[in-house]
Amino acid sequence: MARQGRWVIKIGSALLTNNGQGLDCALMQSWVDRMVDLKRQGIEVVVVSSGAVAEGMTRLGWQKRPASVHELQAAAAVGQMGLIQAWESRFQTHGLHTAQILLTHDDLSDRKRYLNARSTLEALIGLNVVPVVNENDTVVTDEIRFGDNDTLAALVANLVVADRLIILTDQNGLYESDPRNNPSAEMIKEAQASDPHLYEVAGDSGSGLGRGGMITKVRAAELAARGGAKTNICSGRSPDVLVQIAKGENPGTLLHPDTSPMNARKQWLAGHLQMRGKLILDDGAAKRLRETGASLLPVGVMHVEGEFSRGEMVLCEDQHGERIAGGLVNYDAWEATKIARKKSGEIQQALGYINEEELIHRDNLVIF
């Protein structure tokens, strides 16, 4: 079935662990059933799952979240075993596999590791595997940790160029005031993710299990919006919210971006990185890039100039010195030199391995 969208779905600790009483496997199964329905509609799904620390606390018999980083890391290590097993067994009821992806902030700030993470996630999605992403709590320190899985989910949405981020929480959405203290508080049904008023009304976390509160969800929505993704903040108590969103309904709060995912990504590429090298293209490759925005294949590259590493920004020019495009390159300069003028099927023979079939993927390419 043709792709109808790509959603990153984040589920919080309070939901997954039934407020700290162990994994709520029945509710997890309900979410999985709905996510499988989404996949049947052509919507690709990436899960960002909290709950490792909370599940580890349950297994270790801890009633209160520890303050020590190393105790948190220990709890995460214990909890990850049960968490990923629970996701895998429930998707297996539909004949689907999951893959555990553990990330740190460094993985997404380093260009090589960014490309590696993105390529792995794209490959898994292409294999009809459901990626289950979590912060790598067992190895991170305070300096490199995301701080909450809302932020992680937004970064993942940008990483995979998702068009929607869904944050499932124990609240119905974002309200003008705290509904726990004000029963007549009105829900904010729709807004721009960049609206500064959202920060004024966002409160603290209502649960002692997770690190995030509404303020982190607003920040996550703003971050996801920079990549062009819409964000839904809604209650995860009823998995049917996923069905409602797929039907175009809004069961919680919907925060809009100012641009589309691809336009936002192109803007980021155009202004974010310094050119590190140059690729001289033949007429056919130059025409394809100009007219169709296709990926750049090695066969269309005549010469490689400069020193650059995988993940750095390089300039693409035609034989007459006219600038055509810039993009994040999938190979180091010496590798690009060895595979220039070769077909994608010849990369393996030339290098002894293959990173990607493209020298620059179209999603990482901006046309000037």
**Strand ranges of the sheet holding 164-169, from the earlier edge strand across to the other edge:** 98-103, 130-135, 43-49, 5-11, 164-169, 230-235, 253-256, 190-192
Residue 142 has pLDDT above 60, yes or no: no
Copy the structure tokens of residue 162.
Answer: 């998702």
What's the rounded mean pLDDT across residues 305-312? 91
Beta-strand pair 43-49/130-135 = parallel
Q: Which are the contacts of 351, defined by CB distance < 8 A and separation ≥ 6?
A: 335, 338, 339
Residue 121 — very low, low, confident or very high, per pLDDT cuts 50/70/90?
A: very high
Instruction: Give percent of the chain with pLDDT exceeding 70.
Output: 89
What's the rounded mean pLDDT across residues 303-310? 93
SS3 label, residue 185:
coil
The pLDDT assigned to 194 comes to: 87
> Torsions phi, psi of 169, nearest 5?
-135, 180
Residue 146 — very low, low, confident or very high, per pLDDT cuts 50/70/90?
A: low
Residue 51 has pLDDT above 50, yes or no: yes
Q: Cα separation of 82 and 22, whole Å?
A: 10
CB 189 within 8 A of CB 79: no
* Domains of the chain, start order: 5-261 (3.40.1160.10), 273-367 (2.30.130.10)
SS3 label, residue 118:
helix
Copy the structure tokens of residue 218.
Answer: 């607003």
Q: Cα separation of 288 and 236, whole Å?
A: 45
The pLDDT assigned to 211 comes to: 40
* Number of neighbouring beta carbons within 10 Å of residue 19: 14
Structure pTM?
A: 0.77
What's the rounded mean pLDDT across residues 318-341? 93
Q: What is the DSSP letter of 292?
A: H
The beta strands (E) that lie in the chain are given as: 5-11, 43-49, 98-103, 130-135, 164-169, 190-192, 230-235, 253-256, 275-281, 301-305, 313-317, 323-328, 365-367
Per-residue pLDDT of 183-231, as tens digits, reads: 788 899 999 998 888 888 886 544 433 344 788 899 999 988 988 899 9
The number of residues making up the chain comes to 368
In one-letter notation, the amino acid at residue 196 is: P
What's the rounded mean pLDDT across residues 262-285? 76
Beta-strand pair 323-328/365-367 = antiparallel
Q: Which residue has the higher pLDDT, 54 or 233?
A: 233
Residue keyed to tokens 């993105």:
118
